[in-house]
Amino acid sequence: MVTINRKKVSAGIAIIVIILIFPWTCLNTQAETDITFNSADKFSIPSYNGAISFAVNGTYSKATFENDTWTFTNLRLNRSQPLENFKISTQNSNVTVFSYIAFNTTLQSARLRYAVEGKGEQIFNFGLGSQGGEWSGVDWSVITGNNVFMAEGEGWTISNDGTLVVTGVTGNVSIVHWGFSENSLPSSNLPSYLQHSVAIVIAMVVAVTVIVAIIIKVKSKGHSGEK
C-alpha cells in the first residue's frame, strides 16, 4: 500500500498555487506601473509654440521631455500595439494623434494617423531607423486626408536615424512604413514553393512602390510645368 505524506502533498499544492498566481501578480504589478492618459491631457512644447494630444485613451510606462521633444516609452493607444520608443515634436502647430496600428505578418506594416492645426512642422521617430532596424527593405509614405501620397522631399523628409519631418501640411495625415522581417525573407533551406511565394510578395510590393513613385513624380512635374 502506498503511504501518502500529507505534508508533502500540502507543500506541493502550495507550490502549484504560487506558480499559477505569480505570473498574474507580475502582470498586475506591471500594469499598475503604467500611466494612463486621455484626450484632455496636453503635452506642450512652449519654445516651439506647439502641443501634442491624443484623441483616445492610452497608457505609457514613461514620458520624458528633453530638447523640445517628447519621448514615450511603451506607448499604447486604446490597447493598440505598443510603441516602445516613440519620439514626437511639433513646431508652430498642434497635433492630435488618433491611432497607431501595426501588422506583423510576412509583410510588416504600421500606420500612425494624426490631425494637425497650423502650417508648421511635425517631427517623429518610431525607433526604427531609416532602414527599419530589424525590418528589411523598409519604405515610408506620408498620405494626406484626401488620399494624396506626398513625394519624399516635397512635404516630408527622413534622416539616417529614422527621424521623419512633415512640413506645411494641415488636416488629417497618415504616416505608413512597411518592410519585411529578417526572419520572413526567403531562405535556401525553405521548400521551393515557399521561397517563390515570399519572392512574389516582395516583387509585388516593390512594383506597387515603383508605380506610386512614378505617378507622384509625373504629377509633380506636371504641377511644375503649369506653374
Query: For residue 122, which of 151, 152, 145, 156 has the smallest C-alpha distance?
Result: 156
Domains in the chain, number: 2
Given a contact cutoff of 8 angstroms between Cβ atoms, the answer to whether 102 and 135 are in contact is no
- Say if residue 86 is in the same domain as residue 1: no
Is residue 69 scored above 50 in pLDDT? yes
- Say if residue 161 is in the same domain as residue 92: yes
- Say if residue 28 is in the same domain as residue 88: no
- Say if residue 166 is in the same domain as residue 64: yes
- Say if residue 10 is in the same domain as residue 101: no
**In terms of residue numbers, what domain contains 144?**
37-185
- pLDDT for the residue numbered 133: 46
Given a contact cutoff of 8 angstroms between Cβ atoms, the answer to whether 179 and 137 are in contact is yes
- Say if residue 78 is in the same domain as residue 92: yes
Spatial distance between the Cα atoms of 96 and 98, rounded to a whole number of angstroms: 6
Say which residues have a Cβ less than 8 Å from residue 120's Cβ, sequence separation at least 6. 49, 50, 90, 91, 92, 93, 167, 168
- Say if residue 46 is in the same domain as residue 148: yes
- pLDDT for the residue numbered 139: 83
Question: Which of these ranges, 54-58, 81-85, 202-206, has the smallest mean pLDDT?
Answer: 202-206
- pLDDT for the residue numbered 7: 46
- Say if residue 62 is in the same domain as residue 18: no
Of residues 84 and 107, the one with the higher pLDDT is 84
Cα 143 to Cα 83, 124, 207: the distances in Å are 20, 15, 19
- Say if residue 68 is in the same domain as residue 23: no
Is residue 85 scored above 50 in pLDDT? yes
Mean pLDDT of 105-116: 83
- Say if residue 25 is in the same domain as residue 61: no
Cα 150 to Cα 6, 22, 100, 168, 219: the distances in Å are 73, 50, 20, 12, 11
Question: Which of these ranges, 15-24, 70-79, 161-170, 190-199, has the smallest mean pLDDT?
Answer: 15-24
- Long-range contacts at 101-105 (CB < 8 A, ≥ 24 apart): 104/181
